[in-house]
A and B are shown apart, each in its own frame.
Chain A
Amino acid sequence: MYIIVAGGGKVGYYLAQHLLEEGHEVLLIERNPDRVTEINEVLGAVAVAGDGAEAGTQAAAGASRADVVVAVTGEDEDNLVICQVAREKFHVARTIARVNNPKNEHLFRMLGVDVTVSQTNYILNLIEQAIPERSFVHLVSFHEDLTIVDAKVSESSAVAHRAISEIELPVNTAITAIARGANLIVPNPGTELLPGDDIIAVAHQNQEDELRRLLV
């Protein structure tokens, strides 16, 4: 694939390096010429100096034949415009933006960015998962509004000591696995939920609260 990466900070640099190792054709656009020289000394001639949001820079970078444009600068407004210019002017099929302010994730998707990556949210999630004795943890988001959660069944939970077939789950949610101590159980309708079980469930993001009330 031909991938254009805009933004030559730590994220852009390591991303470009990784994509090159995987055998992709990569071009990195970075505003600061000194940084471009630094990157090219290590990675070979992969970086060019320029403003990734400028149509001229994207045209020179061959955006019209790019499969993916990834915008990973430290400024959300730049990442948004880089993706929008790639999409509207060069018809790039897939645009990916780093989102520095988690509040902007939804906005970016509304404005046509295909994928958003929020570092802040990822780090928050990882920290949340690392805190012991949490009863309900959001593990991962995918496909825009789907989520995988880990809910710990408490002694007082309405679902404790009941079979999965007896539980009325919110619509379009699924219990996909149960972690009981060191064992992983792939559930069937007859599987009984026990206090202390970790339930791994897939749901829509807006059903997380309902699921939490039911299971915990």
Chain B
Amino acid sequence: MGCGRVGARVAGLLDHSGNEISVIDTDSRSFRRLPAGFGGETVIGTGIDEDVLRKAGIEDAEAFIAVTNGDNRNIMAAQVARLIFEVPQVICRIYDPVREDTYRRLGLTTVCPTTTISAIILDHVMRTTSDTNVGRGGTT
């Protein structure tokens, strides 16, 4: 659900590795982001609507991934997928770290780009500074 850069890429990769994929987005133009030769289904509509989810085949789905730009939309759709349709694996992107923490505690599998990317950047920064420090240490 959500055919932005991340959604289209994940859908393309999973399709390429032989999975059956349905992509949901409110805007049909966003399906253009899917890679050439994409073999899955596309469904226009909002993933917080049970009927749209059914049309995308959620009743037989083994995994559901919510990666629209709206945290709340992802949270709601993920809960619908898990509680109403009992999809075994549900993954939900939440940008707001506090909200991510709340819903992880409530049992959703969450991905928070904000904390993940900050950590990666910090890691690079720390490594750079320590490299520099080592260099300085060598000259003194």
Chain A residues in contact with chain B, CB under 8 A?
Answer: 53-56, 75-78, 80-81, 84-85, 88-89, 101, 103-104, 107, 110-111
| Interchain CB contact (< 8 A) of B76 among A77, A88, A103 | A77
Residues of B within 8 A of A78 (CB): 72
CB distance from B131 to the nearest CB of A (A): 36
Bound complex: CA A101 to CA B51 (Å)? 12
Instruction: Determine whether the beta carbon of A81 is less than 8 Å from that of B72.
Output: yes
Given A88-B102, A111-B83, A77-B49 contact (CB < 8 Å): no
Bound complex: CA A26 to CA B48 (Å)? 31
Given A53-B71, A75-B72, A81-B72, A107-B99 contact (CB < 8 Å): no
Instruction: Determine whether the beta carbon of B76 is less than 8 Å from that of A101.
Output: no
Instruction: Determine whether the beta carbon of A103 is less than 8 Å from that of B50.
Output: yes
Instruction: Determine whether the beta carbon of B98 is less than 8 Å from that of A76.
Output: no
Instruction: Determine whether the beta carbon of B71 is less than 8 Å from that of A56.
Output: no
Is B70 an interface residue when CB atoms closer than 8 A count as contact? yes
Instruction: Determine whether the beta carbon of B49 is less than 8 Å from that of A101.
Output: yes
Bound complex: CA A104 to CA B98 (Å)? 25
Q: How large is the interface on B (under 10, 10 to 19, 20 to 34, 35 or more residues)?
A: 20 to 34
Binary contact readout B88-131 vs A (1 if CB under 8 angstroms, 0 otherwise): 00000000101100100110000000000000000000000000
Chain B residues in contact with chain A, CB under 8 A?
Answer: 48-51, 70-73, 75-77, 79-80, 83-84, 96, 98-99, 102, 105-106
Instruction: Determine whether the beta carbon of A54 is less than 8 Å from that of B49.
Output: no
Instruction: Determine whether the beta carbon of A111 is less than 8 Å from that of B79.
Output: yes
Bound complex: CA A88 to CA B102 (Å)? 7
Instruction: Determine whether the beta carbon of B76 is less than 8 Å from that of A76.
Output: yes
Q: Which of B49, B72, B79, B99 has the most CB of A within 10 A?
A: B72
Residues of B within 8 A of A80 (CB): 72, 75-76, 79
Q: Which of B49, B70, B77, B79 has the most CB of A within 10 A?
A: B79
Given A101-B49, A107-B80, A110-B83, A81-B75 contact (CB < 8 Å): yes
